Amino acid sequence: MVSLTLRFYWPKMIHDIEQFVNSCEICQKNKYDSNPPIIKFKLTPTTSRPFEQIHAFEQLLENFCKLYKIELHYGTSKNSNSNSPVERFHSTLIEHYRCLKSKNIRYTPEQLIWSVEE
């Protein structure tokens, strides 16, 4: 919507865009609820000593990152702001991709991210 507001303007533009998106069948099928109901989680067993439970996937991920020279950055576990911009961006990107895939339209990642037309 930001890219639209930079190029176009008309009275009640935001309202018209919301109406269009809310009436779009593809958007309704592919987008998810951004405010889902809160689910109560069950307690998981706690280990009695550090590193008692180690998953094999972690070693696989470390080897993969070393192979492709990917530098890992860990966010803090109790800080909701540490990784939220990245998570929100990924969520939005996946949403756009699903909608475009439903329409059988092919876009490059740059076009999806920056709303650039060729």
In the predicted structure, residue 96 carries a pLDDT above the cut 60: yes
Q: Token pair 């109560």 is at which residue?
A: 40
In a domain, 110, yes or no: yes
Please give the Cα distance from 60 to 62 (Å, whole number): 5
In a domain, 71, yes or no: no
- 3 — pLDDT class (breaks 50, 70, 90): confident
Number of domains in the chain: 1
**More reliable by pLDDT, 69 or 113:** 69
Please give the Cα distance from 63 to 69 (Å, whole number): 10
From the CB of residue 104, how many other CB atoms can be counted at a distance below 10 Å? 6
- Domain hosting 116: range is 90-118
